[in-house]
Amino acid sequence: MLALIILVMKPLVTTDAGPEPVTNRTVVPGTLPGPVTHPYLFFNDIRETPGYQNRNLTPWSGYEYEIIRGANIVYDRDFSVPWPGDPREDIMSRAGYAKTFAMAWHITGDEKYAKKAVEALTNIGVGDPYSPHRRSVAVRDYSIAYDLVQPYMSEQTDAKVRDKLAKLADQVYRELNSDGTDTDYVTFWDYHGQAYINVAFAGLALADYDNPGRLSLKSGPSDWLKCGTDYFFVSDPLHDRHKPIVYYGFDAATGKDLIGYNTYTLENMVLFAQAYTHVTGENYVEKYPIMKGHFTAEVWDSYPNGVEATYETLLNLRFNYHACIANLLDEVNRSAVLRHYDNVNANIRYMPDPSTEWNGGYTTAYLCEHNYNDLPRNPPPYTSHLNPDAMFQTMRNGWSVDSDFLSMVTTQPVSTGTTRLEIRADQLGIQYYGKGNILLADGGENKWVRNPDYGMAPVYHNVVVFENPRQPFPVDAASGGRFVGGSKGDASGVTTPARVSRTVTTPWMDILTAEEHITGSPNWTGEKEIPLSSPIDLERTVLLPEDGYFLVIDRAEGSEPWIYRNIWRPASFEIVKTLSPGNIGRVIGDLSLGGYRYDWQAADYAVDVDTGIVTEHFEWSTTNPYGNPVELKVYSVPASKVYLTKSLSVIGGNDMASDVYSPIVYFRSQEPEKNMYRVTALMSRYQSDPEASAAQVKVTGTGNALSISAPGYVDTVYTGAGDSRFGKFATNADTAYIRASGDGYTRYTILNGTYLDAGERPLVKATGPMDYLTVDSSAEDVSLRVKSDTYVTITLSQLTLPAKYRVLTDGVQRDNWEAVNSDTIRIKASHGEHTYQILPA
């Protein structure tokens, strides 16, 4: 039941309000209790709207001009007759004109626009009915137009329009499941995700409609409104699965669009959120929190310059609708989206395609876009955005344009009704942005040049792939290589979901671990996966030390030998644009393999080239959009055979000009192996920055290790299995990270282990396995976070401890610890995830 609200009319800003409005009608139970007086969807008086209040300022003056101009362009049209051969003949266009006329009347007070709006409304049904989708949009715009111009109608005209609009709403409602004959099929972006919201507008605008003429209707205002509320967010009775419609299109964990088709549904949702909130007094985005997640997702899923990170079908777009929804957000989220909005508009001029995405019309902007010039702009209170149930993870070390950023695809078990997500070979794929530029990019959807395959193949993604040394796979047309990636799913949905097993955020270290159990490779027809001869368990962990470089830890384990490849896709927002399919552009950058310049542009397209080079590193030199030279160094152990492909990437836009050649670098196993343990450091710098160096560290045992030396510290990173020694260190953890700074070890992290030794002395020893332990002793205080499935006693040594100290467990002082000696403490940790702080007493 919606909240009780009595709508109070203020005087309309008109020169002649026309006939007396019909008021104080009884509302159908279950919709809006109490009498209603139009207009009420967005305002009671035009002077309440942000467009009218700011009509002398830019951009609102432009919105007002375009609304009136639009009304004048079609003013002489006769809406009582068809317009044969006119592309604007369809019902959706006619409804849009009705809305525009009604807005022009309120803005100008000129009665001629009211008359034209009424003319358009009384002729609902004249013209081309076109498709169910366009009829649904027509319901939305006719409903808005009716609400706006109803005060001008006579009682007889009002009754006629209400019946016509109700018949159209009933038709659109019944078409949602083909009048009960198709209760299985849902296509969110092309139809249902829009149509459910559209028909809900009629539930608001005709809330008091009780079908006085007893028309043959199968639905009414209560049903229509539920399409934008209960059916959308709770349970949809119109389809067999009773799944809320929103979950076909949005990530249940975050609200992010599942495949990146944001522009298909944005305007409907912004308008309805505003209308519902104004009519009922209930904040739509607070009542349905997934919508708050949806309207704030661009804050965290975009690169630091405001450009959307490539994800499924979503390319490097810039969304700038946030000023139309910010008034419904809480103070923290409002400040964050406004900062993002400013960031987008400040940086688009530096992009290859300097445009923004927001298909909202001038009326939407006039009604919804408030003036926020005096409100604060602050980043959100987090940096990395990690969620074990989410489809997309992002990590960053800050919110400035030149902050470091990495994303990972972690597709969960969903069914979208489209194979655009399900068979894309991007599971656990990453992207890396640093120093104001995209440096390792996802390939996006190649739709314009060469062999347009929409970026399905693994060569378009920064993932791990594998060759079969026993029976080679067929040649992949997109890369020329005989390798495959793991299957994510098929036409029925995601069948090999990612399992996000570890998410940790601390001031000194962020950690993300995701896994997939790979049993087959993708079948591009959408049919079941092509089985492998035996499964492969793949785990990818990303570590983000506070300083801002990334460590990517790849671990693959199988029962048979495979040849593993890590795909790396160097990129840049600086491109030579594609002019035609016969004149293809390229990313601008120089590639060096193992310290030697390599002419990647000379390679043939989609050919798997053995460079003959064995190395641990490659460098990519380019320039960011702000004119600053940037260098990416990728250092990866063990040393690998380097293969290369000249492929395609869609960079910086969403059109042919952005579909350009780019190099693909593969680090390939030197020999077949059952298990693969790889450590990779992603480091970017400006030319003026000091350069870090990296080197392989010898391992005694199983695995690989890498050291990174930079001014002020030396980091050592290991991954492997069992008890192993590497340099000064020893561990039984799957992965270990140690920072040496000054005279001691100031930070360290172990994953899935019980001990870590440094210099023949313990750093940490636990009585049982820990999923993770991460420690920061770089300041006077010592902080640690740990997760374990059982009670464990943890002994920390080689610490610089105060003479007297106390220990907080999750912020509360407890006695679950004991001092062993001057540099050692023992903590009794309960199971679960906990934070401990050792503070001066």
Structural domains in the chain plus CATH codes: 1-47+88-248 (no CATH), 392-687 (2.70.98.70), 695-840 (2.60.220)
State the pLDDT at residue 654: 86
State the pLDDT at residue 23: 37
- Strands 659-668 and 609-623 come out as unpaired
Would you say the C-alpha torsion 177, 178, 179, 183 has a positive or negative sign? Answer: negative
Question: Percent of the chain at pLDDT above 70?
Answer: 96
Whether 492 and 415 have beta carbons less than 8 Å apart is answered as: yes
Determine the average pLDDT of the residues in 397-412.
97
State the pLDDT at residue 29: 38
Determine the average pLDDT of the residues in 729-752.
97
State the pLDDT at residue 277: 97
Whether 809 and 528 have beta carbons less than 8 Å apart is answered as: no
CA distance 251 to 416: 10
Answer yes or no: is pLDDT of 15 > 50. no
State the pLDDT at residue 32: 56
Answer yes or no: is pLDDT of 671 > 80. yes
Determine the average pLDDT of the residues in 766-770.
98
CA distance 136 to 201: 10
pLDDT-derived band at 417, boundaries 50, 70, 90: confident
Closest CA to 95 of 41, 141, 126, 147: 141
What does the chain come to in residues? 841
Whether 245 and 193 have beta carbons less than 8 Å apart is answered as: yes
Answer yes or no: is pLDDT of 58 > 90. yes
Answer yes or no: is pLDDT of 137 > 70. yes
pLDDT-derived band at 343, boundaries 50, 70, 90: very high
pLDDT-derived band at 347, boundaries 50, 70, 90: confident
525 DSSP assignment:
T
262 DSSP assignment:
H
Determine the average pLDDT of the residues in 128-134.
92
pLDDT-derived band at 452, boundaries 50, 70, 90: confident
State the pLDDT at residue 528: 85
State the pLDDT at residue 30: 41
Q: Look over the chain and give the mean of its residue pLDDT values, rounded to a whole number.
A: 93
Determine the average pLDDT of the residues in 786-805.
95
Closest CA to 765 of 776, 780, 750, 779: 750
In the numeric block, the tokens 């740990």 are attached to 786
pLDDT-derived band at 34, boundaries 50, 70, 90: low
pLDDT in tens, 502-544: 999 999 999 999 999 999 998 877 788 999 999 999 999 999 9
pLDDT-derived band at 16, boundaries 50, 70, 90: very low
Closest CA to 317 of 395, 264, 241: 264
Answer yes or no: is pLDDT of 493 > 90. no
Answer yes or no: is pLDDT of 24 > 70. no
Which of 38-52, 525-539, 621-635 is least confident? 525-539
Determine the average pLDDT of the residues in 614-619.
98
pLDDT-derived band at 349, boundaries 50, 70, 90: confident
Answer yes or no: is pLDDT of 8 > 50. no
- Strands 586-587 and 499-505 come out as unpaired
Query: What's the chain's Rg over C-alpha atoms?
Result: 30
Answer yes or no: is pLDDT of 348 > 90. no
Extract the tokens encoding 371. 């003036």
Determine the average pLDDT of the residues in 604-616.
98
pLDDT-derived band at 467, boundaries 50, 70, 90: very high
Extract the tokens encoding 310. 């490539």
Answer yes or no: is pLDDT of 313 > 90. no
pLDDT in tens, 423-451: 899 999 999 999 999 999 999 999 999 98
Of the CA atoms within 13 Å of residue 696, those in its CB half-sphere come to: 14
Determine the average pLDDT of the residues in 102-123.
98
Answer yes or no: is pLDDT of 6 > 70. no
